[in-house]
Structure 1
């Protein structure tokens, strides 16, 4: 047995993220599978198993069709692939809106079956009471204000929020209510810089922006977007790679090699072992 001690990697905790308010920016990305989570884990403070997986992985047109079972399955994969980052799992549409008891049962199921440390909810008018109920019973909750993807059927499109005075005030109040209810951090999505800055300065919890400017305490992007997996991405996305083109070239080359019988070559082929000489 080796005399050297194996280094134990400790996960970042909810209190550690909360303590980052006004400090070092929080790095968060979405994760949906074990190998990708393993690659991102050393660099991210938070991995979000977002219900964006419905669109980014399963080809859905919105997040509305995502189920609790899907979130748990992907959450289990991300937990297997990561060691360091705090893992947060979205509660999908329909899993927390009917009442606090429904929300608690589903949140507990997510945490028990995945081992993740927190859940995230989109903060509509009735949601702060649910957040308070969950937090008081030991479920850490990340809030989400501004553009709410689960409300696509009401809003009709994914468009920036808070540009008009009434909507600005409503989102600001929602952020206050979400933080006051006990959310350990608040995602701000798709709002003007001024509103993101106002929310960040007004609440005691760290804010994590997505399309909400550098004024926030941290940033999150949908990973396939920033890796260039799609032809179109929102205005707020910066592409850090062009994996769509890279994968296309790799598959094209593989297909050509197979058709020309260049693959597999001798080095990639198994042969029978020669009998040992007497």
Structure 2
């Protein structure tokens, strides 16, 4: 285990984010996860139950009763869950720990990848935004997230942590919603969990070679700056399968993989799902 990997996992455990399920009675709504900004909850309830988050119906449990909910970087200090199936319902309220996010500076980027102004380039970026929006809109009816995630690279060095406030060429930018894993050019990228490819697009302006994988219920992982893409849209892939290779395409100054994860419209930290698994099946 690399020092960076050990620090990521030990830090989460030290914050009290890893532990047994919350709610153990067989009739309960059972929840477990990493209760921190950028974290998640995996739950088990009645099959196909409707899941409300802070009073809003956001997702539906799978045929086995499993579901996942993500918390973004600015998540509030608590979140309430309600599971409804017919006349049955269960409720839980859980605290969310405030995250600590560093700052990150990157210099030497081509100006067109920081503040583009060329009309033709802006038109291209708009087309690519439409492609990404469609890929992230996927809601595959599976629960492939249940067994947690592996790291997508076998050997790497973390060069930028999730949630870092970025300064690009001296200009403040939006937070970095990925983990940058530096690795040699051409290193194989492996799927961290089963899923379905929703986008496999080379030569995106910002992301370079980009792949999106839906792991169920809109939990979608992203792989940026690839030198090679080995999968196709709609392809069903398995955990550990090679999906592409590390590169430095798009907005990048060296070979690395930017690994991202989104649950619906919420950006979450993929490292927190490594080694985690959903509550065991019930009902």
> Shared fold by TM > 0.5?
no
Larger relative contact order (Cα-Cα within 8 Å, sequence gap ≥ 6): 2
More helix by share: 1
Larger Rg: 1
More strand by share: 2
